[in-house]
Amino acid sequence: MNERAMDLPRSAVDQNWPHVLRWGLVCGLVLVSLCLVGMPVELDKRAIIERHLSLGYLFVLLVPIAIGWVSSTLLVLEGVENRRQGLYDLVTGLVVGLIGGGVLSLLMVALDNWNLRDPLVNWSPQLFRFLTYENGMGFGAAAWLCTGALLGLAGAALHVVPSVVRRTTAFVVFGLFFLSVLEAAISDLSEGFGLESLTDWLYAKKGGLTVTSTIVVGLVIGAASMVTRGRVKAATNRYRDMEGAERQKASMILFVVVAVLCIVLPMFLGKIMNELLANVGIFLLLALGLNIVVGLAGLLDLGYVAFFAVGGYTTAVLTSPNSPWFAPELHFGVALVFVVIAAGLTGLLIGAPVIRMRGDYLAIVTLGFGEIIRLLFMSDWLGPYFGGAQGITNIPGVDLGFATVKGTDPRSVFYLVLVFCAIAIYTSWRLQASRLGRAWMAVREDEQVAEAMGINTVNAKLMAFVVGAVLASFSGAVLAAKVGSIFPTSFMILVSIIILVVVIVGGMGNIAGVLVGSFVLIGVLGGPKQPGLLQEFQNYKLLIYGILLVFMMLKRPEGLVPSARRSRELHQDEFLQDAWLQGDKLESEEEEGTVVTATVSTGEVGGAEE
């Protein structure tokens, strides 16, 4: 097959049939599993474009396009004349889509003839009606064969059309998609700015964009994408190439802009959006803490939620009048001191026994400890102290004198959490470039050698645990003040795992990565219990998390915004090649210096041999 790939040009019918068949079946299987998961039927209720397109159909229709695109992607080889893409690829996409549609039609036949509702909950008449467009079997099958083929063709066509068209299409499609899906958020935002009339025009009453607005906005986005073409990239490249003082200045401006946005924007946001931001902040704080433990020190801690729980419970006990055993009703600020102490101690207590384990063993043991802490809080034994399953309620907000931070005012919670996030970001940033940060890195790289180089690895690792624990406990304290009550069920193991996914997907070891990760995952998809922007996906959140994690591990293991170090680590070969080329360049520049040193060293050699 490899020899064949080199043949130029190829005739359109002379396809690599096993390849086409494989992708066609992949397409079909993805479609069938999507249907059986129940996504299309449930998401059908949500309109994207009023009366014409629902989110459910959109998802099903996107599959052949995506797989048509993937299946006809050409492996571009450097230094070889590559085949021009054309008719051949269009046929690939078409056939792949056709097979996908065929498989879906088979599903329809099966739906019609057998009842498998028992194991497959979504094997329902609704699904059948959805797939046949409520027009009967024959129409449905024909329609899906056609649409499948056309969409596969469209996906493949993206390779063939000029890049301007490709880029503009992508912008328009994704722009419209987000505009429509983020309806709630955008309405909320425009309300804050007094632009209700805009949203009234944009969205239909029952949800979804209106047809006119779709066309108008599509044109606007298309035009905008033509105008901005290349500029964004140029700007980021310019920023990347800056050095020294100039770079510092640019970073400073960037920082100030972001800071001002963070402070000003919430004032214009409604309750829902602020609530969402507060949730993102709480998880961001957790993720930043875990990033220190996992990303910097390389300790895979799967029981991180334990520290979150300790923070929450300590705050609850110290501030709530309803605390069953000991209720000093301290002020939040005072309680925070004890929260830090309690979290630090828990970090030491959990850390001390498990710190000598490595890798997988550490992960399993911490997983256990995370559960133990939750079960302790839930147990009857500690019930008299922490309220057992009933938890502790009536936790007061944070009284700041001029304002009170409490859950009913999510904006204030956001500001509170913002302060803590700033502390966490500052901490991670400073520690990274310190003696301790370097020790963590060394431990992550090779523990035994780190020890032989004079690093007390036990201390270094314990410090990572404690710093991480303190940051997580801040998050717990904010959660307690926000929700006003604390239950053991808030600290399920799922929280640990979701935070870990945030860190991995965002980019391990990189603060910006963690930021992006928590916005994308917690903000858009939602936390374990907290809804995100895409509330429609509430039921499929974990599925999407899983798919995203698998996809990232395969395609981009360094995360969305990788740290330089980690992408170097994962792409050593490419880096070495670059370094080699760069080294050649630099070496020839400093040629003169080399010659001088070389003579010196030969002189020494002569001396040594005498």
Minimum CB distance to another protein smaller for 437 or for 484: 437
Residue 588 touching another protein (CB under 8 A):
no
Minimum CB distance to another protein smaller for 403 or for 581: 581
Minimum CB distance to another protein smaller for 53 or for 458: 458
Report how far residue 44's alpha carbon sits from residue 120's, in angstroms, rounded to the nearest whole number: 19
Residue 454 touching another protein (CB under 8 A):
yes
Minimum CB distance to another protein smaller for 354 or for 464: 464
Minimum CB distance to another protein smaller for 412 or for 473: 473
Cis peptide before 125 (omega within 30 of 0): no
Rule CB under 8 A: choose which of 467, 499, 511, 552 binds another protein: 467
CB of 448 to another protein, least distance (A): 7
Find the radius of gyration of the CA atoms of the chain: 29
Residue 294 touching another protein (CB under 8 A):
no
Angle at 471 between CA 470 and CA 472, to 5 degrees: 90
Helix ranges (H only) for 269-358 are 271-290, 305-319, 332-354
| Contact between residue 54 and residue 46 where contact means Cβ atoms under 8 Å apart | yes
The CA distances from residue 546 to 9, 120, 453, 498, in Å, are 41, 20, 40, 10
| Contact between residue 298 and residue 511 where contact means Cβ atoms under 8 Å apart | no
List the interface residues with another protein, window 537-576 (CB under 8 A). 565, 568-569, 572, 575-576
Q: Is the dihedral of CA 228, 229, 235, 240 positive or negative?
A: positive
The CA distances from residue 19 to 24, 26, 27, 70, 96, in Å, are 9, 11, 12, 11, 9
Residue 249 touching another protein (CB under 8 A):
no
Q: Look at residue 73 and give its three-state secondary structure.
A: coil
Minimum CB distance to another protein smaller for 382 or for 423: 423
Nearest in space to 509 (alpha carbons), one of 290, 216, 358, 261 = 290
Residue 447 touching another protein (CB under 8 A):
no
Determine the size of the site formed for another protein (CB under 8 A): 48
Which part of the chain contacts another protein (CB under 8 A), choosing from 28-36, 150-158, 500-508, 581-589? 581-589
Residue 3 touching another protein (CB under 8 A):
no
DSSP calls for 135-191: S-HHHHHHHHHHHHHHHHHHHHHHHHS-HHHHHHHHHHHHHHHHHHHTHHHHHHHHH
CB of 142 to another protein, least distance (A): 57
| Contact between residue 297 and residue 460 where contact means Cβ atoms under 8 Å apart | yes
Which part of the chain contacts another protein (CB under 8 A), choosing from 14-22, 111-119, 209-217, 579-587? 579-587
Minimum CB distance to another protein smaller for 125 or for 593: 593
Residue 607 touching another protein (CB under 8 A):
yes
Q: What's the first-to-final CA gap in the chain, in angstroms?
A: 62
Minimum CB distance to another protein smaller for 381 or for 426: 426
Rule CB under 8 A: choose which of 135, 212, 228, 582 binds another protein: 582
Residue 584 touching another protein (CB under 8 A):
no
Residue 367 touching another protein (CB under 8 A):
no
| Contact between residue 284 and residue 514 where contact means Cβ atoms under 8 Å apart | yes
Residue 438 touching another protein (CB under 8 A):
yes
Nearest in space to 211 (alpha carbons), one of 49, 53, 58 = 49
CB crowding 34-46: b at 16 or more within 10 Å, else e? bbbbbbbbbbbeb
Which part of the chain contacts another protein (CB under 8 A), choosing from 128-136, 340-348, 523-531, 598-606? 598-606
Minimum CB distance to another protein smaller for 455 or for 479: 455
Rule CB under 8 A: choose which of 11, 434, 538, 539 binds another protein: 434
Which part of the chain contacts another protein (CB under 8 A), choosing from 352-360, 399-407, 435-443, 514-522? 435-443
Q: Which residues bind another protein (CB under 8 A)?
A: 426-427, 430-431, 433-439, 441-442, 445-446, 448-457, 463, 467, 565, 568-569, 572, 575-576, 579, 582-583, 586, 590, 593-594, 597, 600-601, 604-605, 607-609
